[in-house]
Structure 1
Amino acid sequence: MNQPGAEPVTDSPYAGVAEHVARYLSSDGRDGHMEAGVPNLVLTTRGRKSGKLRRTAMFYTKDGDRYVIVASHMSGGPKHPDWYLNLVANPEVHVQAGSEKFTARARTAGAEEKPRLWALMTRLWPAYDTYQATATREIPVVVLERV
């Protein structure tokens, strides 16, 4: 996926997230990269049904050259977030982490690697453990690798 710009992009339907993305992008990541003391990235996916570009912000950590995110939604709500379903269908995504922008291939962490990556994310945001404990679904961990 090329850097968004040639096509219209729809931001998150959640007003607070859309406002966060707007601040992030307008400041080239200076305002919004760190939120609640946690690093955030902006992820652009292609809609699995509409084919349109969709954008959201989320916490991340790095694992070597890879970026790691968690597909929690509404504090571990019963459904996977739309952005996760989109990247499963269309794994080529665009990422902005701070001022760095790149295309990545997204994949769900496998059973062998997930516990270690989950631990990295819960050190960053301990509430993920609470989300998983109360969730009725297995919350995926997603690995973003540059292409």
Structure 2
Amino acid sequence: MGDAVAEATEDNRGDWADQHLATYLSSGGARGHLLNLEQAGGRAFTTHCLLRVQGRTSGRTYIKPLIYGNVGGELVVVASKGGADTHPEWYRNIRASDTVDVQIATEAFEATWREPDDEERHEVWAFMTHLYPPYITYQQSTSRRIPLVMLAIGKPIDVFTA
């Protein structure tokens, strides 16, 4: 069931995600950080970061725009893949690395990552579902536990380019 929900979500997005990424990159982060996601069940001012990862087998560089929250000074991203039954590739690539690059608006950083456990995970999940309520439906549509990734910002790096 999860893959069907994820596919429908992806179909509804159309080229929107590609356009969002292109806008974020071409503006150096001046545009694309805040988006109105009310039509998708989200909030009017939803924050987005760019995550840059290396492919664990291909070695290629991938950049993905993701909704993020800030919990206790760490960024949080959700590996929802629209409720699909498999984890997103960016998440699988992160797990193969100690660090990841993240851009927030016009600033980019190297970051370390971790996954919250137990009570902390419960609190972070509650925060992220408040930030973007469709995550609840995504979790209900799949039997996998949707991962949460906490990013601790490190040294500054150059903003991303296409």
Q: TM-score, normalised by structure 1?
A: 0.84
What per-residue deviation string (whole Å, max 9, x for no partner) do you get for residues 94-129 of structure 1? 111111210001222223311111111011101111
* Correspondence 1:71 to 2:82: no
The aligned residue for residue 138 of structure 2 is 131
- Distance in structure 2 (CA, Å) of the matches to 1:77 and 1:42: 21
The aligned residue for residue 27 of structure 1 is 27
Q: Is the 8 A contact 1:88 1:107 kept in 2?
A: no
* Structure 1 residue 30 displacement after superposition: 2.2
- Distance in structure 2 (CA, Å) of the matches to 1:80 and 1:86: 10
- Distance in structure 1 (CA, Å) of the matches to 2:22 and 2:34: 14
The aligned residue for residue 117 of structure 1 is 124
- Distance in structure 1 (CA, Å) of the matches to 2:78 and 2:137: 13
What per-residue deviation string (whole Å, max 9, x for no partner) do you get for residues 64-114 of structure 1? 3210010000x2100000000000111311111111210001222223311
The aligned residue for residue 9 of structure 2 is none
- Distance in structure 2 (CA, Å) of the matches to 1:84 and 1:106: 11
* Structure 1 residue 50 displacement after superposition: 1.0
1:90-105 matches, within 5 Å, as 90-105=97-112
**Gap regions ≥5 residues in structure 1:** 1-13
Q: Choose the corresponding residue for 1:47, options 37, 40, 55.
A: 55
Aligned residue for 2:95, secondary structure, equals helix
- Distance in structure 2 (CA, Å) of the matches to 1:93 and 1:16: 24
Give the letter for the 1:67 counterpart: L
What per-residue deviation string (whole Å, max 9, x for no partner) do you get for residues 18-61 of structure 1? 32111012112221111223100000011111122111001001
Q: Is the 8 A contact 1:87 1:93 kept in 2?
A: yes
**How many residues in Structure 1 have an aligned counterpart in Structure 2?**
133
Q: Is the 8 A contact 1:23 1:31 kept in 2?
A: yes
Q: TM-score, normalised by structure 2?
A: 0.77
Task: Decide which structure has the larger Cα Rg and report it.
Answer: 2
Structure with more of its chain in helix, by fraction:
2
**Gap regions ≥5 residues in structure 2:** 1-13, 38-44, 155-162
* Structure 1 residue 15 displacement after superposition: 4.3
Give the letter for the 2:112 counterpart: R
Q: Is the 8 A contact 1:69 1:142 kept in 2?
A: yes
State percent identity of aligned pairs: 38
